Structure 1
Amino acid sequence: MNKRTFLKTCSLLGASVLAHSTAYSSTSPMTSKQHIIKPKALPRGGSIGIVSPSSATAHHKDIVLAKQIIEALGYNAHVAKNVMQRRGHLAGTDQQRADDLNTLFADPSIDAIFCLRGGSGAARILPLLNYQTIKLNPKPLLGYSDITALHNAILAQTGMISFHGPNASSDWNGFHVDQFQRLFEQQQRMRYQNLDKQDGELVNRDYFTQTLTPGVAKGRLIGGNLTVLTALAGSAYLPDFDGAILFLEDIGEAPYRVDRMMSTLKLMGALDKIAGFVFGGCNDCNPGAGYGSLSLDEIFNDYIRPLGIPAYTGAMIGHIERQFILPVGAMVTLDANNRTMVLEESVFS
Structure 2
Amino acid sequence: MGMDRRGLMTGMGAMMAAAAIPGGATAAPLIKPPRLRAGDTVGLIEPAGFTDDAFDLDLVQDTIRAMGLTPKAAPHLAGRYGYLAGTDADRAADVNAMFADPDVRGIFAVRGGWGCARILPLLDFATIRKNPKLLTGFSDITALHLAFAAKAGFTTIHGPNAASSWGQYSWDAFRAVAFDAGTPTFTNPVGREDRLAQRIGRVRTFRPGVARGRLLGGNLTVLAALMGTPWLPDFSGAILFIEDIGEAPYRIDRMLTQLSLAGVLGRIKGVAFGQCTDCGAAGPSYGGFTLSEVLQQHLAPLGIPAFQGGQFGHVANQYSLPLGVEAEMDATTGTIRLLESAVR
Q: What is the TM-score normalised by the length of structure 1? A: 0.89
Match of 2:333 in 1: 338
Is residue 137 of structure 2 the alignment partner of residue 143 of structure 1?
A: yes
Structure 2: distance between partners of 1:296 and 1:212: 13
TM-aligned CA distance change 1:230 to 1:54, over 3 Å: same
Query: Conserved in 2, the CA contact under 8 Å of 1:252 and 1:285?
Result: yes
Cα deviation for residue 335 of structure 1 reads 1.1
**Partner secondary structure for residue 262 of structure 1:** helix
Most deviating of 266-275 and 40-49? 40-49
Cα deviation for residue 209 of structure 1 reads 0.8
Match of 2:324 in 1: 329
**Partner secondary structure for residue 303 of structure 1:** helix
Cα deviation for residue 102 of structure 1 reads 0.5
Is residue 312 of structure 2 the alignment partner of residue 317 of structure 1?
A: yes
Partner of residue 237 from structure 1, selected from 231, 234, 237: 231
Match of 2:296 in 1: 301
Q: Deviations over 1:280-329 (max 9, x none)?
A: 11111111247742211221122110010011110001001211111011
Q: Deviations over 1:108-156 (max 9, x none)?
A: 1001000010000000000111111111100100000000000000001
Most deviating of 251-260 and 195-204? 195-204
Partner of residue 95 from structure 1, selected from 73, 89, 95: 89
Cα deviation for residue 187 of structure 1 reads 1.8
What amino acid sits opposite 2:302 in the alignment? Answer: L
Cα deviation for residue 34 of structure 1 reads 2.8
Query: Conserved in 2, the CA contact under 8 Å of 1:216 and 1:333?
Result: yes
| Correspondences of 1:5-84 after superposition (within 5 Å) | 33-84=27-78
| Correspondences of 1:255-270 after superposition (within 5 Å) | 255-270=249-264
Structure 2: distance between partners of 1:278 and 1:90: 30
Structure 1: distance between partners of 2:266 and 2:26: 15
Query: Conserved in 1, the CA contact under 8 Å of 2:269 and 2:305?
Result: yes
Structure 2: distance between partners of 1:153 and 1:326: 16
**Partner secondary structure for residue 36 of structure 1:** coil
Structure 2: distance between partners of 1:85 and 1:205: 41
Q: RMSD in angstroms over aligned alpha carbons?
A: 1.6
Gaps (5+ residues) in structure 1? 1-27
Match of 2:245 in 1: 251
Query: Conserved in 1, the CA contact under 8 Å of 2:164 and 2:316?
Result: no
Query: Conserved in 2, the CA contact under 8 Å of 1:32 and 1:240?
Result: no
TM-aligned CA distance change 1:248 to 1:29, over 3 Å: farther
Query: Conserved in 1, the CA contact under 8 Å of 2:96 and 2:123?
Result: yes
Match of 2:214 in 1: 220
**Partner secondary structure for residue 304 of structure 1:** helix
Structure 2: distance between partners of 1:31 and 1:328: 20
Match of 2:8 in 1: none
Most deviating of 50-59 and 193-202? 193-202
Match of 2:13 in 1: none
| Correspondences of 1:160-239 after superposition (within 5 Å) | 160-198=154-192, 200-239=194-233
Q: What is the TM-score normalised by the length of structure 2? A: 0.90
Structure 2: distance between partners of 1:288 and 1:142: 32
Q: Deviations over 1:14-65 (max 9, x none)?
A: xxxxxxxxxxxxxx77978232111111122101110000011111122111
Is residue 275 of structure 2 the alignment partner of residue 281 of structure 1?
A: yes
Match of 2:14 in 1: none
Gaps (5+ residues) in structure 2? 1-21
Structure 1: distance between partners of 2:25 and 2:207: 27
- Once the two structures are aligned, what percentage of the paired residues are identical? 45
What amino acid sits opposite 1:174 in the alignment? Answer: Q
Most deviating of 182-191 and 139-148? 182-191
Query: Conserved in 2, the CA contact under 8 Å of 1:32 and 1:242?
Result: no
Structure 1: distance between partners of 2:61 and 2:172: 18
Cα deviation for residue 200 of structure 1 reads 3.9
What amino acid sits opposite 1:239 in the alignment? Answer: P
Query: Conserved in 2, the CA contact under 8 Å of 1:145 and 1:225?
Result: yes
Structure 2: distance between partners of 1:335 and 1:321: 23
Partner of residue 122 from structure 2, selected from 117, 125, 128: 128
